[in-house]
């Protein structure tokens, strides 16, 4: 029983360590515009892919309105919206991936 508790404790510590070492990336670093009119789908997806390939981290959006269509999240990538940041879905249906026969 003590051995199991030690293993669980070690796993929890390891999980905390990986969270501590996750890198933050500002959305503006990837030329993602916060004006609410620029379509940012490609830039956001590029950022997600880049962060995933470089060990993971957080894509942080600061105050502003970020317009996008379909994006595909990947492992070890977190999107964080700071206070005042809004991720806007495009009203154009062609900005989204088509799924199935609908």
pLDDT digits (tens, 9 = 90+) for 39-54: 999 999 999 999 999 9
pLDDT tens digits, one per residue of 12-34:
787 765 555 679 999 999 999 99
Give Cβ neighbours of residue 69 (< 8 Å, ≥ 6 apart).
39, 41, 89, 90, 92, 95, 96
The rounded distance, in Å, linking the Cα atoms of 63 and 11 is 36
Percent share of the chain, pLDDT over 70:
90
Instruction: Inform me whether the pLDDT recorded for 1 exceeds 70.
Output: no
Number of residues assigned to the chain: 102
Reference 82, options 98, 99, 65; nearest CA is: 65
User: Contact, 77 vs 48, CB < 8 A?
Assistant: yes
Question: Whole-model pTM above 0.85?
Answer: no
């Amino acid at each position: 029983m003590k051995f199991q508790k030690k293993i669980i404790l070690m796993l929890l510590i390891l999980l905390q360590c990986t969270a501590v070492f996750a890198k933050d990336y500002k959305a503006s670093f990837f030329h993602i515009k916060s004006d609410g009119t620029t379509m940012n789908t490609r830039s956001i997806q590029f950022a997600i892919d880049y962060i995933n390939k470089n060990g993971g981290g957080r894509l942080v959006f600061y105050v502003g309105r970020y317009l996008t269509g379909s994006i595909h999240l990947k492992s070890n990538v977190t999107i964080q919206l700071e206070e005042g940041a809004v991720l806007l879905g495009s009203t154009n249906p062609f900005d989204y991936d088509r799924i199935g026969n609908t």
